[in-house]
Amino acid sequence: MSRCSQVVELLVDYVENRLAQDRRLELDRHLAGCGSCAAALNTYRSTVSLLESLTEDDLPEELRTRLRAFLDRESAN
C-alpha cells in the first residue's frame, strides 16, 4: 500500500474478507506500520459492531423513515 487513502477504500472488503490474498497481505503489512490506518480499521470495526447490535426500535422514527427512503432510492438504482 503506497497511500493511506487506498487503504481506507479497501477497509470494507478487508473486514469482509473479500480481498485477494496478496492484496490482503499487502494491506496487513501497511496496517502493521501505520497507526492512522490501524485506527481507521478499529473505528470501522467498532462502528459495524455497534450498528449490528441495534434493533429497529432503537432508532428514532424520523431516522427510520429517512433510512427506509434512502434504501428504497438506492435499491431502485
Q: Are 34 and 7 in contact (CB under 8 A)?
A: yes
Q: Where are the domains of the chain?
A: 4-76
Give the predicted TM-score (pTM) of the model: 0.69
The architecture CATH gives domain 4-76: Orthogonal Bundle (1.10)
* Structure confidence by residue, pLDDT tens digits, 13-64: 999 999 999 999 999 999 999 999 999 999 999 999 998 898 888 889 999 8
Question: In the Cβ-directed half-sphere of 53, how many Cα atoms lie within 13 Å?
Answer: 6
Q: Are 1 and 7 in contact (CB under 8 A)?
A: yes
The per-residue pLDDT for 2 is 59
